Each structure stands twice: as C-alpha cells, then as structure tokens.
Amino acid sequence: MSEILSTKEETRDSSSTQSKPVLHAHNLTKVYKTGEVEVKALDGVDFQVFEHEMVVLLGESGSGKSTLLNILGGLDVATSGEVYFKDRLISSDSKGLLTSFRREHVGFVFQFYNLIPSLTALENVALVTEIAKNPIKPEEALDLVGLLPRKDHFPGQLSGGEQQRVAIARAIAKQPEILLCDEPTGALDHQTGILVLEAIEQVNRELGTATVVITHNTSVGGIADRVVTLRDGKVSDIQSNSNRLSPSELKW
C-alpha cells in the first residue's frame, strides 16, 4: 500500500461490523409506459446495502438490475416504494434534492468510461475534486486504482481497462458513501476485467465505500459479501459469502 494511503488506514477498517444500511429500498416498483405498452421493470424489490459492504447484483438481461441501480443512485425515480439514504427518505425528494444527493454521496461507474478526451487522467479526476465537499487528492484517487504513474496521460493514450480505472478514481475521489457500478467490466476482456475489479475491491477495502457491482458474470459473485439476484423485477435469491475471493482468484 502506498504511503499516501497508509495515513488514512485506521479510519477505514473494512472489517468493521456491517450493521447499518447506507441505502435501503423497500417494496420498489418501476413501471415504464411507452404508449399502450407497460413494462414492470421492478416488482416489489427490497434491497439493502450496508456500510463497507460489497454487493454483486446478478440477473439475466432485462431482470431490472440497471433500473434498480439508477433508482438507488437517484438517477431515476420509482413508481412506488421507498428509498432511504441512511435514515433519510430520498424517494420523495425533488429533482434538485436528488441531484445534491447524487453529487455529495454517490459515485457511479458505467460500462463506458465517459472521460473527457482533452483532459489528462489527473485533470479528469480533479474536475470532481474541485467541486466536492470532502475530496481526497486526485493523486491519491489515482494511486488507489494503480494509475498514478499514468496521471499525465490522456484517455486516448490509455487502454480500456486503464480508462475504466481512471473512471473509478473519478467516481470515488469525492469520498462518496456509496459506489454504484453498472457492468464495469462489460466492455473488457477477462484479464483487464480482473484488474478493474481489483481497483473496485481496493476502493471498497481502503476507503470502506459501500459498493454495488452489476454483472452478467456469476463468477464475479465470489468477490462479494452478498450476491443478490434479480429475476423478472423481483429479488429471487440472496447469498452471503463467508469469505470474499480476491478478483485474481476468480475463474470463468
């Protein structure tokens, strides 16, 4: 571990008891209406993410994973049901309040990295830290994902996996309480995907950020504290792992 990080180690013990939910969704439904057609994307979902926890969200295409993640992160609103951030009900918040919630408390990582091509890796991360209330240094964020040596490189000079690691650094630099990752390895080959999962795992361990990772790949469930499976808009299964595997131990 780097010297930069070791100073904060004591306050970020990922072995702390996982007792309090950071996010809690109760009886969520989401119905999309397009003309005459209604799609029930979520159908009575209860879902919790606890402090420091790593949750992997599995399910077939169309089972409602992205819909759930977007509602949890305040990018979308449910048709009915409640979402709490800690003790605060956020599901009835105005658009403006949801925007503040996202800005202050949620880091997002998507399948595609959406970095600004004309800015270096460091500048892409600094864009966030300049406006955040309690950020870590952009250098520290890049160090966490193993990319400090590439800080002056532009996205076009980085591989897909490296760009995704910059996107992870950007997402966590403001020290969000929750990191939501929608298919973060979806565009990457196996070996690169492992490196990206290692970066996410490192963030979860070092910063203690409660993390949800959507994937199609059931093997990835091995890195989680809990694996939640959705089917037809409902939670069909929840498994707890007594031991988390490191991403390099995953086989698929």
Residues that bind ligand ATP (CB under 6 A): 32, 34, 39, 41, 59, 61-67
Contacts of 33 (CB under 8 A, 6+ apart): none
Helix, strand, coil share of the chain (percent; to 5): 35, 25, 35
Residue among 88 and 112 whose Cβ is closer to ligand ATP: 112
- Quote the least distance from Cβ 199 to ligand ATP, whole Å: 22
Q: E strands of the chain, at which residues?
A: 21-34, 37-50, 54-59, 80-85, 88-89, 106-109, 178-182, 210-214, 226-231, 234-240
Is-contact 140 216, C-beta < 8 A? no
- Quote the least distance from Cβ 120 to ligand ATP, whole Å: 31
Residue among 208 and 233 whose Cβ is closer to ligand ATP: 233
Residue among 11 and 34 whose Cβ is closer to ligand ATP: 34
Is-contact 172 207, C-beta < 8 A? yes
Residue among 61 and 243 whose Cβ is closer to ligand ATP: 61
- Quote the least distance from Cβ 212 to ligand ATP, whole Å: 12
Measuring CA to CA, how many Å separate 164 from each of 56, 189, 234?
Answer: 18, 12, 30
CA within 13 Å, CB half, 41: 21
Residue among 30 and 205 whose Cβ is closer to ligand ATP: 30
- Quote the least distance from Cβ 204 to ligand ATP, whole Å: 21
- Quote the least distance from Cβ 236 to ligand ATP, whole Å: 12
Q: ∠ CA 18-167-23 to the nearest 5 degrees?
A: 30
- Quote the least distance from Cβ 238 to ligand ATP, whole Å: 16
Counting other chains too, the contacts that 90-99 makes at CB distance below 8 Å and 24 or more residues apart are 98/74, 99/74
- Amino acid type, 75: L
Beta bridge partners of 21: 50
- Quote the least distance from Cβ 134 to ligand ATP, whole Å: 31
Residue among 44 and 146 whose Cβ is closer to ligand ATP: 44
Residue among 74 and 135 whose Cβ is closer to ligand ATP: 74
